[in-house]
Structure formats: C-alpha cells, structure tokens
Amino acid sequence: MLLKDFLLERKSSLSAKWFERVVETYPSETAKFLKNQKDPFGNPVGSTILQGIDNLFNQIIEDEPDTEKILPLLDSIIRIRAIQDFSASEAVAFIFYIKDIIRQEFERTYTNSNYPAGLREEFSRFEAKVDRLALLSFDIYMRCREKIYELKAQEVKNMTYRLLQQAKLIVESPERSD
C-alpha cells in the first residue's frame, strides 16, 4: 500500500486530529471556543484554521505538492498566529504535528514487522516535505512580523508628529506653486 493511499483512507480522521492539536496550542477557554463554535462568522479564526488544515493536508499528500496552492494556505494560518502571542517556533510548530499524528497512526495500524514494503521510505520523503513546509511557514511568519513592526513604527511616527503639531513645535510650510 502506498503512503498516499494510507493517508487518503484516513484523511478525515488525520485532518481532524491535526486541527485538534493546533487548537490545543491556545489557552483552554479559547481552544474550547475554537473547537465548538462552528459558525465561520462567529469563529473566523477556528474556521480559517480548520479549512487551512484540511486543504494543507490535501496538498501535502500529493507526490509533488503545488507550492502556489500551499503558500496561501500556510499564510492564512500563520498570519493569524503571527498577530497572536506566539513565538516564531510556537507559530510554525503546528506543521510538525502532522508527522507525529501519522506516525501514531502507523503504530496503531502496523507492527514493525508488517510494514508494507517501501512505506518507511515513503514516510521519510513525506517528513522531508513537511520540513520544507515548516521552513516556508517560518518565512511567512517573519514577513508578517516585519509588517507588524513597520505598522507600529509608522504609528509611533504619526503620533509623534501629531503631538509636535499640537504643541506648535512644527510649523507647516505652505506648498509652493511653481
């Protein structure tokens, strides 16, 4: 049995476990809300994470995942985590959870002696693919954080300028018309 077949047979269960693990990274009350509130308008964060996880799972089980499709999926989840109180490692760690989840599913399904031929090698290639996703996720996280810092710096500049104007320490020069 190929790895892809193994994962497709268990797709909904594995994807649900992955979502569950991601939600567990939040404080308990928030996690409960994210899991239980199904309305996408009432719970846009939970809905975005759930859809992102489902779609990411579909992409990573492909032999050659489409980076153009993966980047917006990662971006939607990472963007949320970048503005929350997560460190860089905490924000992107969710990518690695899928490896543990699948490894546990293997252990439940097979003993060491009855792994189908080639499945371990396929899983090693799968793990390398997940590692590449983690690196992409880190890049996305850093871009989001840089943007947040740029916005904060611009706001401080604007606020300082307004305070100096109010204190009449800055005089506007009339625009010249040539």
pLDDT one-digit tens code per residue, 25-41: 999 999 999 998 888 88
Apex 137 CA angle, 89 and 96, nearest 5: 60
Helix residue ranges per DSSP H, 61-174: 67-83, 88-92, 94-109, 119-166
- The confidence score (pLDDT) of residue 120 equals 79
- The yes-or-no verdict on residue 167 having pLDDT over 90 is no
Average pLDDT of the chain to the nearest whole number: 88
Residues 3-144, CATH architecture: Orthogonal Bundle (1.10)
**pLDDT value at position 112?**
65
* Range 115-139 burial, b when 16+ CB lie within 10 A, else e: eeeeeeebbeebeebbeebbebbbe
What global pTM score does this model have?
Answer: 0.80
